[in-house]
Amino acid sequence: MRNGERSRERLLDAATAEFAAYGIAGARVDRISAAAGVNKAQMYGWFSSKEGLFDAVFSQHLHRIVDAVPFTPHDLPAYAVALYDSYLTDPELVRLAGWSRLERVPVGDLLDAHHADPKHAAIKRAQAEGRIVRDIRPDEVYALVIALAGTWSPVSATFTASRQDDQADHRRRRRALRAVVRRALVP
């Protein structure tokens, strides 16, 4: 009974990297346990299956996926830009969400309602204050901002940005993103 807590953490870290890189079907439990330095049987004692391990990883990172960046409904352009930056520093989270969408949740909400509801409510208030356009429903405002911030994300259908890109590229994308969100959603 030397150090169960630390082992569990190393295991979840290794599993995060593995699932982010290969998805659920592509992940290998032997690779995870080897990378974590945790015995496989031990792993199965804590989490009962590969799927169970993915669930643990995903729910552990849920708040980081959702709140990687403080939500600022009164300044959506800045929020979108901050998301762009967070996708650059933490592409794993976006990839994890992508796998979950493709391998687990093909339609409907990706996350539980109680993660999104507070944001929708905040958007509604900002609309009442005249900070956000009123002709689009709060949940859709949110969806559109997330989609825009993900234009160059690790699940982009066009181009995925990386930290190695030229700083000028990042600046140009941030500027475009800020302008688009402002013109589209700020009255």
Partner DNA sequence: CCTAACCTACCGACTGGTTAGTCGGTAAGG
Partner DNA sequence: CCTTACCGACTAACCAGTCGGTAGGTTAGG
Q: Which residues bind DNA (CB under 7 A)?
A: 1-4, 6-7, 27-30, 37-42, 44-45, 48-51
Nearest to 180 by CA among 64, 110, 84, 66: 84
Residue 184, contacted partner among DNA, a copy of itself, none, CB below 5-8 A by kind: a copy of itself
To a copy of itself, the closest distance from the beta carbon of 9 in angstroms equals 26
Residue 105 CB, nearest approach to DNA (Å) = 20
Give the pair of three-digit tokens for residue 101: 């969408």
Asked if residues 58 and 101 have their Cβ atoms less than 8 Å apart, the reply is: no
Residues 81 and 177: beta-carbon distance below 8 Å: yes
Q: Which of DNA, a copy of itself, none is residue 87 near (CB under 5 to 8 Å by kind)?
A: none
Minimum CB–partner distance for residue 94 and DNA (Å): 23
Residue 160 has phi, psi (to 5 degrees) of -100, 120
Residue 75 φ/ψ region, left for φ over 0, alpha for ψ in the -120 to 50 degree band, beta for the rest: beta
If contact means CB under 5 to 8 A according to the sort of partner, which of a copy of itself, DNA, none does residue 173 touch?
Answer: a copy of itself
Least Å distance, CB 148 to DNA, is 36
Pick what 99 binds: a copy of itself, DNA, none; C-beta below 5 to 8 Å, kind-dependent: a copy of itself
Smaller CB separation from DNA, 13 or 165: 13
Q: Is 108 exposed, middle or buried (0-12, 13-18, 19+ CB in 10 A)?
A: exposed
